[in-house]
Amino acid sequence: MEWLILSTFIPPLISAGLITLFFLRKPVIAINLAIFSVCISVATTSILYIPLSKLGELQISLPWLEISGFNGTFKFHLDTLSMLMMSIVSTISLIIHVFSIGYMRGDNGISRYFAGLNFFTFSMIGLVLSGNFITIFIFWELVGLSSYILIGFWYHLPSAADAAKKAILANRLGDTGFLLGILMVWGVFGTTDFDNIQSQLVHPTASFTKLGNIIALLLFCGVLGKSAQFPLHVWLPDAMEGPTPVSALIHAATMVAAGVYLLCRVYFIFAAAALVNPLPFGLVALDVIAWVGAVTALIAALIAIQQTDIKRILAYSTLSQLGYMVLGVGVSDPASGPASSMFHLITHAFFKALLFLGAGSVIISLHHKQNILEMGGLARKLPVTFITFFVGTLALCGIPPFSGFYSKEMIIHAAESNKFLFFICVIVAFLTAFYMFRLLLLTFTGSFRGHDSTKIKENPLVITLPLILLAVPSAVSGLAGIDQVLIKFFGGTIEHINLFEKLYAPFKFAAHSSWWGLCAAVAGVIVSSFLYLGRSEDLLALRLKSLSQLLVNRLYFDEIFGCIIRYSHELISRTMAWIDHWIISETIIGSICGSVGILARLIRLLQTGSVNTYLGIATLIILIILIWLLPK
């Protein structure tokens, strides 16, 4: 039965390999093969529900490397958490594969694209199923590689190539910390296996007491890179250079969620670290995580309110929601685990993929134009797109009964313990509603501000069916009881309530946070409507000129990074040049040369050519030997 686990992610790998080797010029075969392999993944995932519900968890280990002290195995572990995640990844991947048929029609590299999408599916499912740190790190890097391949898909565009490079670099920076954390884990626990570590943490050792928070922070570094938290968030908006389905799959629904998934997977480390020696200022790793998430959410939301590219707004929205999820992990109670973050991750995957695919649909209709200031009034022309987009927007803003409300409310409720964090959550909820409705209104209402409005029509079914398919879970997944499953997985207690009661359960059990969240969202909608409904220009940009410029230029983060790198690099190279010139060349080599020269000149004095001199020297040496060596 365990080999079925392997067949969830190996078929996409095989298919990616076959496409790359044989079918790069036969797009029809490539597309069919790709979709077929993802269908196998989805089917296997569904089949695995049955043994999972019976056994509780399934594992498969593939031994790899056994050096003394280091036991590296590929371990794949299927339990409730990974099953949930795997279902989402495989179904969204399948939906996006179908969408891509329509989106990438006519592109020359379409086979390569589908190979890349398959490879990504393989890596992501492998990551989700990983049972130890070694496996998860390998698949972590593979996911990063797939991201590079797909962001830089149109490699002849320099902006795309640069964006791919930036993504890999930011990821690599995070992965350095991650790898250090893994090494420390191995040093402290002697193993990298998740189950093993979890059982060891029941009685933490002395070394863990000293190093626990440092290990937790280093592991969080990996999340910084992969889930684009501050300060490594700069790669995600640039990653929008890739095709829109790629943005939907990788940079909205799944890959960037891998960081949050990691936090939830090894949450026991963070929970145990909260009980041992804290870092300076009395912080534990979970506090740092919460604040980093909060800062990311706030900054991203602020930048989003003045962006004009439809995909950029959604990218910053993703950043903001990722910040929410990380914040949720940071403030979660060890007793009930980060169920709120996982719940938000799942609902976010659905509605963000929906929003991105909707944006893709709009982009195709307008023949690859992306500036929302040149759109408008598309609601009549693209009705299906508009309705699904509207559903997604409501879900994102957290309006009940759509799914986003329930997941966001769980996080805000968890953040009640810290007044500042609660305040930031509420403000971000307001801003989220504000910019999403700004996007919606400027794109779909009013009159068309672009050039040619006659050719715009709704896209074919291959594009709109995925939108509809994603709109359904965006609407209802909040009520499906996922949060109950998650709380039970992380060890909390649940109450059994029926479907109708679930609708208003937040208002009953967590009234404070849910009312604040709802009011903030509604306020955002109202303000946004006031400013943007039916208008054709951005009033905010006109009124707050310099502040708006600051936000449009993304708070100058890229420029700051560029300056830092350039100046530190220059400082280092100048210092090295100075050392090379003055110390190595002049001093060391110069002294060697000079002393050799002096020595040579001294020895040359012996070459007088005079017989007497030679005789004298010979005599001297013989006398010295005579006098020294002969005994008395």
Interacting residues with other proteins (CB under 8 A): 607-612, 615-616, 619, 623, 626-627, 630, 632
Q: What are the residues facing 72 on neighbouring strands?
A: 65
By C-beta, is 493 or 610 nearer to other proteins? Answer: 610
- Shortest separation between residue 595's beta carbon and other proteins, angstroms: 22
Cis geometry, peptide bond prior to residue 401 (ω within 30 degrees of 0): yes
Radius of gyration of the chain (CA): 31
Give min distance, CB of 618 to other proteins, in A.
9
Asked if the bond preceding 280 is cis, omega within 30° of 0, the reply is no
The smaller minimum CB distance to other proteins, of residues 547 and 624, is found at 624
Q: Which is nearer to other proteins, 472 or 623 (CB)?
A: 623
CA separation for the pair 546, 370 (Å, rounded) = 24
Measure the CA dihedral 488/493/495/499, to 10°.
-30
Would you say 500 or 628 has its CB closer to other proteins?
628
Phi–psi pair at 61, nearest 5 degrees:
-120, 135
The structure tokens listed for 230 are: 């501050």
Which strand (E) or helix (H) includes residue 204? none
User: Residue 563 or 622: which CB sits closer to other proteins?
Assistant: 622
Structural element, H or E, at residue 581: none
Can you give 243-310 as a three-state secondary structure string? CHHHHHHHHHHCHHHHHHHHHHHCHHHHHHHCCCCCCHHHCCHHHHHHHHHHHHHHHHHHHHCCCCEH
Backbone angles phi, psi at 70, to 5 degrees: -120, 120
Strand partners for 71: 66
Min separation Cβ 576 and other proteins, Å: 43
Q: How far is the CB of 630 from other proteins (least distance, A)?
A: 6
- In the complex with other proteins, the residue whose CB is nearer, 590 or 616, is 616
Considering the complex, state which of residue 55 and residue 615 has its C-beta at the smaller distance from other proteins: 615
- Closest approach, Cβ 568 to other proteins, in A, equals 55
CB of 569 to other proteins, least distance (A): 53
Q: Compare residues 67 and 611 and give the one whose CB is closer to other proteins.
A: 611
Rounded Cα distance between 480 and 502, Å, is: 9
**CA 471 to each of CA 45, 379, 420: distance values in angstroms, whole numbers, following the listed order:** 22, 17, 34
Q: Between 460 and 616, name the residue whose CB sits nearer to other proteins.
A: 616
In whole angstroms, how close is the CB of 615 to other proteins at the nearest point? 5
User: What minimum distance in Å lies between the beta carbon of 619 and other proteins?
Assistant: 6
Q: Where are the alpha helices (DSSP H) in 544-610?
A: 545-552, 557-578, 590-604
Q: Report, in Å, the least distance between residue 597 CB and other proteins.
A: 17
| Residue 300, token pair as written in the block | 């991203």
